[in-house]
Amino acid sequence: VLPRHIAVIPDGNARWAARERKERIEGHWAGVAALRRLIENCANTDGIDVLTVYAISVENLERPEVETRWLLRLVAEVLRSDRKALIENGVRLRFIGELEMLPPELQRVLQTAESHGPAEDSE
């Protein structure tokens, strides 16, 4: 029996990079690749209706400014580049939390990603 809702907290990208003797940025890209695989697997598995990803915490925003800016740009870049694939897989995005803490440009990217997803099924 599969759960209808799966929730994940991506963590450990920097630790993975350090262990592999790679730059922190490479660790974050490896995390993106893993999340892409998870999204695709959930989208292609009957019975899994919801995937929650706790992606940006307040603690993430307290990292050094250069890393924080890079992480937020990464989120925006991935959402822009993956939008078509997400729609084709029937993935609908919804962002929750204190979005006003994010830079205005990222807020616009999130709003666009939410509004350009597949049509909502009646709930």
In eight-state DSSP terms, residue 102 is: S
What is the greatest pairwise CA distance in the chain? 48
Supply the pLDDT for residue 122: 40
Whole-number Å distance between alpha carbons of 47 and 60: 32
Owner of token pair 């809702």:
5
Confidence at residue 120, expressed as pLDDT on a 0 to 100 scale: 53
- Coil vs helix vs strand at 5: strand
From 110, 83, 82, select the one nearest 96 (Cα to Cα).
110
Q: Homologous superfamily of 5-115 in CATH?
A: Decaprenyl diphosphate synthase-like (3.40.1180.10)
Active site residues: 11, 60
Please check whether residue 12 is in contact with residue 24, taking contact to mean a CB–CB distance below 8 angstroms: no
Task: Indicate the DSSP class of residue 91.
Answer: -
- What does each of the 123 residues of the chain score in pLDDT, given as a tens digit? 889 999 999 999 999 999 999 999 999 999 999 999 999 999 899 999 999 999 888 888 888 899 899 999 999 999 999 988 888 888 888 999 999 999 999 999 999 988 876 655 544
